[in-house]
Chains A and B, each alone.
Chain A
Amino acid sequence: MILAEARFSLLPGLTVIGIVLGGTYALAAIGIVLIYRVSGVLNFAHGAVAMFSTFIAYQVSVVSGLPGWLGLLAAVAAGIAMGFIIERLTMRPLAGKPVLTKVVITIGWLIVLQAAAALIWKANAYHRAVKLVSKSGFRLTGTSVVVGYDQLTTLIVALVLALGTAAVLKYTMLGASMRAVADDPEAARLWGISVNRVTAASWMAGSAMAAIAGVLITPLITFDTFSLTLIVIDAFVAALIGRLTSLPYAVLGAFILGLVQEYPTAFTNNSGMHEVATFALLLIALAVLFRPGSRKLRVA
């Protein structure tokens, strides 16, 4: 990595890609935070749910040739269904069991979904990305950077959903119940809130977010079963920056992560710089925000 060889001219373009990538991570991270806050479970299968839903969209809109928005809809439905199944069949019966047991169950789901998708859609085959919006774009005035309409849409959808989630949590009855369950499930139950129903709602909503994130990210990364499953790590890093509890900081973390992953491309040709950036940020987040005695750490 020699600075003299740096290609600074690439930076503006990388910024655009980084921000768009960050938007999709933000969506995935919101799902993680939602599920974690309400049920206390860190969902390792989040990326796998995103991946499986995305392949449903692929099946509908690329293989069957139906419109892209129908594929997205199918993906969201699949995400909600998976969230419901995971919660209802494998989380609820374990009420009162150690959280780590439930977390390992989500790893089981990761393995199942990943292997099943590899069986159905072939792990190493080339998959055409799910196309929602035209790829043509416009030039940012005064620069040479072209922004695709698809990229713009991705960013807008991510921001709208992030704000929407915040609004739902803040202003609706369901949101208030979710916050109540997150703070103290026992007290919430005494207030007449159906903890089970709220928990299920958080899993379904969180998984739907994962599905949307998965569909939106397909043009940006290698579209195969493994790579999509792994966006759970990116979502974790973003969520960790928000201490797993704060939505705004998780969204901010997602954008930081997106940019940090893209910028090294300007300086080095080494492969895997994405992962190095992710890993570095992960270590920093764990070391700084989760050091013993740090504020607001929810012991899980």
Chain B
Amino acid sequence: MSDLRLVRWTAVGVGVALGVLIPALLTDFLRTLAADAAIAGLIVLSLVLLTGMVGQISFCQYSFAAMGAFTVGSLVAGHHWDFWLALLVGVFFAAVVGVLVGFVALRLSGLFLAILTIGVALFFDRFVLAAGNWNSFSGGLSSWRPGRPSFFGIGLRGEYAFYLFAFGVLLAACLLVWNLRTGKTGRVLRAVRESEVAASTVGLNLTAWKLTAFGISAALAGLAGGLAAVRVGSVSAGSYDFLHSISIAAIAIVFGAGSIASAPAGGIFLIFGREALIDWTPFSTQWFDVILGAGLIFQLVHAPDGVVVDIERRITRRLRPPRQMPSESEQRSPERVPAEVG
């Protein structure tokens, strides 16, 4: 096992251990925040899949999440369904909406996809979830109040139990995306991202792959929505609006959509960053978005790939064994690092 892999798996192991242990020592309030962070991490992960792996941008991830959340809300609270079945249906609905958006996105890229997804987000905000239009789904003026489920006989009412559950889901999802990335799917998706023309000339079915990517990404977001519905215990449209979607996209970009580690890091930053702002500084939560936006701008002007990706690259560079033994003259010359960074 090379140094690099050793470091990577040690980091993952330590991360998981800390993820399990630290919340055990925290208060219940901080545990709910930790669960929120895991859920937000799932949404960042959905963007890592879509933006980092396929190169498709999306500003409507919270609309996909809303599909999951409101399906769970209406089925569990309105129709007394079992949570797990409702969650399954919610994830499926989110995936369907994702595929629909992906279908329109097939012919678009970059800029136009960005406009389209903002359009989708507003359509959800102002129409689908607006009170009075589709109350059996949106709950109308009163919000759905789904109760917490139990997981194979273990009740998830306790905040620590629920956090562990959400954390487990995030880990599983990360593993799924990791598998997609290293396996055949990953190679295909990378090919699609790098050059659609080249990918189609080697016989890849672009349509199917792009739709799949949108579907899986939306499903992950929908899963996050379903979890958030029971974490909060109430589902209201305000938590799934356009501003949430662009904030999470900003976070994915700031941390780097190219790395799975951005998911937990982004989730923690989004939730605990706000909290830290209230607790430790005289600023209110609204400052968080000012800082986030300014961070995004600064980031893109100076290190366009993202913070986590940048750090990973630095570590990799230090640890990766030299491909061949450098000759004496090469040893004296510095590495060709700076060119790579830009």
Complex interface: chain B residues within 8 A of A114 (CB): 243, 289, 293
CB distance from B114 to the nearest CB of A (A): 7
Q: B104, B116, B243: which contacts A226 (Cβ < 8 A)? A: B243
Complex interface: chain A residues within 8 A of B171 (CB): none
Residue in B closest to A300 when the chains form the complex, CB atoms: B111
CB distance from A177 to the nearest CB of B (A): 25
Cα A240 to Cα B250 in complex, Å, equals 25
* A276, B300: Cβ atoms closer than 8 Å: no
Cα A115 to Cα B133 in complex, Å, equals 29
* A107, B133: Cβ atoms closer than 8 Å: no
Complex interface: chain A residues within 8 A of B327 (CB): none
* B293, A110: Cβ atoms closer than 8 Å: yes
Docked complex: B114-138 residues within 8 A CB-CB of A: 114-116, 118-120, 122-123, 125-127, 130-133
* B133, A111: Cβ atoms closer than 8 Å: no
Residue in A closest to B122 when the chains form the complex, CB atoms: A275
Q: B57, B111, B122: which contacts A42 (Cβ < 8 A)? A: B111
Chain B contact residue count (CB 8 A cutoff) = 44
Cα A119 to Cα B289 in complex, Å, equals 10
* Interface residue A118 (Cβ < 8 Å from any Cβ of B): yes
* A107, B123: Cβ atoms closer than 8 Å: no
Q: B104, B116, B296, B301: which contacts A94 (Cβ < 8 A)? A: B301
* Interface residue A274 (Cβ < 8 Å from any Cβ of B): yes
* A100, B130: Cβ atoms closer than 8 Å: no
From A97, A111, A114, A276, name the one whose CB has the most chain B CB atoms within 10 angstroms. Answer: A111
Cα A290 to Cα B116 in complex, Å, equals 12
Complex interface: chain A residues within 8 A of B107 (CB): 286-287, 290-292
* Interface residue B178 (Cβ < 8 Å from any Cβ of A): no
Docked complex: A258-298 residues within 8 A CB-CB of B: 270-276, 278-279, 282-283, 286-287, 290-292
Complex interface: chain B residues within 8 A of A230 (CB): 122, 242
- Asked whether A286 and B126 contact (CB < 8 A) given A111-B250, A292-B107, the answer is no
* Interface residue B35 (Cβ < 8 Å from any Cβ of A): no
Residue in A closest to B115 when the chains form the complex, CB atoms: A236
Q: A272, A287, A292: which contacts B130 (Cβ < 8 A)? A: A272
Q: A42, A99, A276, A287: which contacts B123 (Cβ < 8 A)? A: A276
- Asked whether A275 and B123 contact (CB < 8 A) given A103-B114, A107-B250, A108-B250, the answer is yes
Q: A111, A233, A276: which contacts B296 (Cβ < 8 A)? A: A111
- Asked whether A112 and B294 contact (CB < 8 A) given A99-B110, A101-B304, A275-B127, the answer is yes
Chain A contact residue count (CB 8 A cutoff) = 48
Residue in B closest to A290 when the chains form the complex, CB atoms: B112
Cα A290 to Cα B108 in complex, Å, equals 8
- Asked whether A278 and B110 contact (CB < 8 A) given A101-B300, A104-B300, A111-B296, the answer is no
- Asked whether A118 and B286 contact (CB < 8 A) given A103-B114, A109-B293, A274-B126, the answer is yes
CB distance from A91 to the nearest CB of B (A): 9
* B114, A44: Cβ atoms closer than 8 Å: yes
* Interface residue A65 (Cβ < 8 Å from any Cβ of B): no
* B300, A108: Cβ atoms closer than 8 Å: yes
* B104, A287: Cβ atoms closer than 8 Å: yes
Residue in B closest to A48 when the chains form the complex, CB atoms: B293
Q: A101, A112, A233, A300: which contacts B119 (Cβ < 8 A)? A: A233
* A276, B127: Cβ atoms closer than 8 Å: yes
Complex interface: chain B residues within 8 A of A42 (CB): 111, 114-115
Q: A99, A118, A272: which contacts B111 (Cβ < 8 A)? A: A99
Docked complex: A77-122 residues within 8 A CB-CB of B: 89-90, 93-94, 97, 99-101, 103-105, 107-116, 118-119
Docked complex: B201-253 residues within 8 A CB-CB of A: 242-243, 246-247, 249-250, 253
* A278, B122: Cβ atoms closer than 8 Å: yes
- Asked whether A240 and B115 contact (CB < 8 A) given A101-B300, A108-B250, the answer is yes
Complex interface: chain B residues within 8 A of A236 (CB): 115
* B132, A279: Cβ atoms closer than 8 Å: no
Complex interface: chain A residues within 8 A of B289 (CB): 111-112, 114-115, 118
- Asked whether A286 and B111 contact (CB < 8 A) given A94-B301, A112-B297, the answer is no
Complex interface: chain B residues within 8 A of A97 (CB): 304
Q: Per-residue 0/1 for A149-177: is the Cβ within 8 Å of any B Cβ (1 yes, 0 no)?
A: 00000000000000000000000000000
Q: A108, A275, A278: which contacts B297 (Cβ < 8 A)? A: A108
* A119, B287: Cβ atoms closer than 8 Å: yes
* A115, B293: Cβ atoms closer than 8 Å: yes
CB distance from A42 to the nearest CB of B (A): 5
Cα A90 to Cα B301 in complex, Å, equals 7
* Interface residue B10 (Cβ < 8 Å from any Cβ of A): no
* B111, A105: Cβ atoms closer than 8 Å: no
Cα A240 to Cα B104 in complex, Å, equals 16
* B110, A108: Cβ atoms closer than 8 Å: no
Q: Per-residue 0/1 for B292-320: is the Cβ within 8 Å of any A Cβ (1 yes, 0 no)?
A: 11101100110010000000000000000
- Asked whether A100 and B111 contact (CB < 8 A) given A108-B250, A108-B300, the answer is yes
Cα A123 to Cα B286 in complex, Å, equals 10
CB distance from B256 to the nearest CB of A (A): 13
- Identify 14 residue pairs between A and B in the complex whose beta-carbon atoms are under 8 Å apart, listed by A's number: A99-B111, A103-B114, A104-B296, A105-B296, A107-B246, A108-B296, A108-B297, A112-B293, A114-B289, A119-B286, A271-B126, A279-B123, A279-B127, A283-B119
Which A residues lie at the B interface, using CB under 8 A? Answer: 42, 44, 89-90, 93-94, 97, 99-101, 103-105, 107-116, 118-119, 123, 226, 230, 233, 236, 240, 270-276, 278-279, 282-283, 286-287, 290-292, 300
Knowing that A105-B301, A119-B284, A290-B112 touch, tell me 11 more A-B residue pairs with CB under 8 angstroms: A90-B301, A97-B304, A104-B296, A112-B293, A113-B293, A123-B286, A272-B133, A273-B127, A279-B127, A283-B104, A291-B107
